[in-house]
Structure 1
Amino acid sequence: MSRIDAVIEDIKKLFKKQPNTIYKVRIVDEVYSGMINIFFEYYKIGYATTSQQIARLEGTYREQIPAIKQQIKHETGLTVTIK
């Protein structure tokens, strides 16, 4: 199992289909630390966003970010943003 497959499994465990709740995954490329963070975020309408870090990848994955985004989106169906 690859590192990205493990991240997708973690996302699937956290994703609970609840009414009036918006779910998304955010990929953050930290330029100064050289790391890539992946967060699972959700919020109910009218409430604050809850964000949970699910992975911290080495900078060697930087070129693979678009492919990682597509794989997560394809396998989970969630919105994925890159910052």
Structure 2
Amino acid sequence: MTEIDDMILMINKLFTKKPNTIYEVRLVNQTYAKQVNVFFEYYRIGHATHSQQIARLDDQYRTRLPELAKQIHQATGLTVNTN
């Protein structure tokens, strides 16, 4: 299994379908650290956002962020935001 497959498995484990809860994945490109951090975020309406780092990817993924976001969205069905 690759890093991406492990990350998608982790997202699927964390994605518990609770009512009135919004789930998303955030990809953060850290330009100075030359890596990509992946966060799983969820929040209930009127409550604070909970964010959990699920992966830290190497420099090779920084150039492929749109492709990576599309792959995660297709595998999980969640919204994927990139910064």
Amino acid at match of 1:57: L
Partner residue in 2 for 1:31 = 31
Partner residue in 1 for 2:13 = 13
TM-score (norm 1): 0.97
Report how far residue 62 of structure 1 moved: 1.1
SS of the counterpart of 2:37?
A: strand
Report how far residue 65 of structure 1 moved: 1.2
State the percentage of identical aligned residues.
Answer: 54
Kindly provide the CA deviation profile for residues 12-36 of structure 1, in whole angstroms up to 9, marking residues without a partner as x: 0000000000000000000111110
Distance 2:52 2:2 in 1: 21
Distance 1:2 1:73 in 2: 17
TM-score (norm 2): 0.97
Amino acid at match of 2:76: T
Partner residue in 2 for 1:81 = 81
Matched length? 83
Report how far residue 48 of structure 1 moved: 0.1
Amino acid at match of 1:24: E
SS of the counterpart of 1:67?
A: helix
